[in-house]
Structure 1
């Protein structure tokens, strides 16, 4: 019974307390009234390694999201910076912040790995869990620390965002195909929702609103599922040293080369 209760609570929320944190955990916190979440890797001792755009660099996706998605860099009044982190509001790329700056007043959530397909689909909102397996905490922290020193490339909301960074640190997986969305469940959910809406001509297959709702929700779930990093076949495990050594090359090209060598 306790197991089922925990599973039910997990479907509703992944919220955890700071006392439950372990080094190597993939954590996130919702921003802008739950429009999107900011992700990072807990490094221990109250520190989080995360990937973000700096303030003033938010615009540029070319979509309506530019009106809502702001920088996730830690923000404090200029005359009162964080005593641990200093003023990081203008920084971008991979950075290390205290957990208070990372959360920016939000709640703490744990991103879950190796979930079942049923659990995954029950979490209607993307960017909270994956079917993929996580590597050991040692491997996760090695990747995160290495990228903290060497960078993770340019920020791209659909192909190289904070969730992509955290998932790569946890799994070492990169997407091979350059035309598809990255590893991010948030981006995949956005694309899935847009695809489901764009497929509204399927309304002609049903005459009722409930029937249309079933068709659209079914398409949304299928699209989310096949886009998950734990299901996709267009991925390859890439050592972080190799990723950094070819920093000027598209990540998809690096993953393709690794896949061809295997």
Structure 2
């Protein structure tokens, strides 16, 4: 049962339109998608499991080589239902087994209380924002499966961003901030709390530093959540695809560059 400690659910509890996720690489990150019913999941992928690509050649090589070596101990069996999807990228539809990739099944929570949100110390598991009806969620997911969701970006346009947009229809309207992803917000909040805050100089004790860091982390996560931030607006899914084939956010970025 979904609670404070875990969002794990059983397959029999799934309903079409649910936002689900599964942890990868020993809980380093989670892959997110929308359950479409009949054992199918629509999700946004970078291809070959490279959803956490950073853009740093050396770091990506280290991450993906360790991932490949850990998965190469057994032979890869091609899914009889999905075939080989390892080279696909963009918005795709997979069976639930391929989506989970051997991991457990978790349900992303919407419209949680501020207390529950902060109690979930790990980002990418819940949001204060409310979900739209399942029919709207599935309409967005299916439309984006046909038309795409732009280029994959770990901080601004990742698999969690895709699932949250499908559930809420909310898009970030500024180009300088992180996307909707709670995972990305948590990473940046942790980095800010540990490295960049001048408040770390107010105490020299370990417990004091931990308290300051924890407080900054919680505040940063909270203000970055899609349910409270003000740099978002509701965007119809049909408006995402421009005549040039770019998403609305990409098109605005290109226009800014040209100007």
Matched residues, number: 245
- Please report how far the alpha carbon of residue 81 of structure 1 lies from its aligned counterpart in structure 2 after TM superposition: 1.3
The DSSP-based 3-state class of the residue aligned with 2:117 is helix
Separation in 1, partners of 2:250, 2:180: 11
- Cα RMSD (Å): 2.5
TM-score, structure 2 as length reference: 0.87
- Checking the alignment, whether the CA contact within 8 Å between 1:36 and 1:69 is kept in structure 2 is no
Correspondence 1:25-64 to 2 at 5 A? 25-55=18-48, 59-62=53-56
Separation in 1, partners of 2:125, 2:41: 18
| Structure 1 range deviating more: 77-86 or 143-152 | 77-86
2:95 is the counterpart of 1:101? no
Q: Which residue of 2 aligns with 1:23?
A: 16
- Checking the alignment, whether the CA contact within 8 Å between 1:176 and 1:253 is kept in structure 2 is no
Change (3 A) 1:65 1:128: farther
Deviations 1:109-163 (A, max 9, x none): 0000000000000000000000000000000000000001111011000000000
Q: Which residue of 1 aligns with 2:183?
A: 186
Separation in 1, partners of 2:113, 2:40: 30
The DSSP-based 3-state class of the residue aligned with 1:68 is helix
- Please report how far the alpha carbon of residue 43 of structure 1 lies from its aligned counterpart in structure 2 after TM superposition: 0.0
Q: Which residue of 1 aligns with 2:246?
A: 248
- Where structure 1 has 5 or more consecutive residues not aligned to the other structure, the ranges are 1-5, 256-262
- Please report how far the alpha carbon of residue 198 of structure 1 lies from its aligned counterpart in structure 2 after TM superposition: 1.2
Q: Which residue of 2 aligns with 1:210?
A: 207
Separation in 2, partners of 1:209, 1:242: 50
- Where structure 2 has 5 or more consecutive residues not aligned to the other structure, the ranges are 254-259
TM-score, structure 1 as length reference: 0.86
The DSSP-based 3-state class of the residue aligned with 1:133 is coil
2:66 is the counterpart of 1:68? no
- Checking the alignment, whether the CA contact within 8 Å between 2:49 and 2:86 is kept in structure 1 is no
Match of 1:170 among 167, 171, 174: 167
Change (3 A) 1:20 1:91: same
Correspondence 1:78-227 to 2 at 5 A? 80-199=77-196, 201-227=198-224
- Please report how far the alpha carbon of residue 220 of structure 1 lies from its aligned counterpart in structure 2 after TM superposition: 0.3
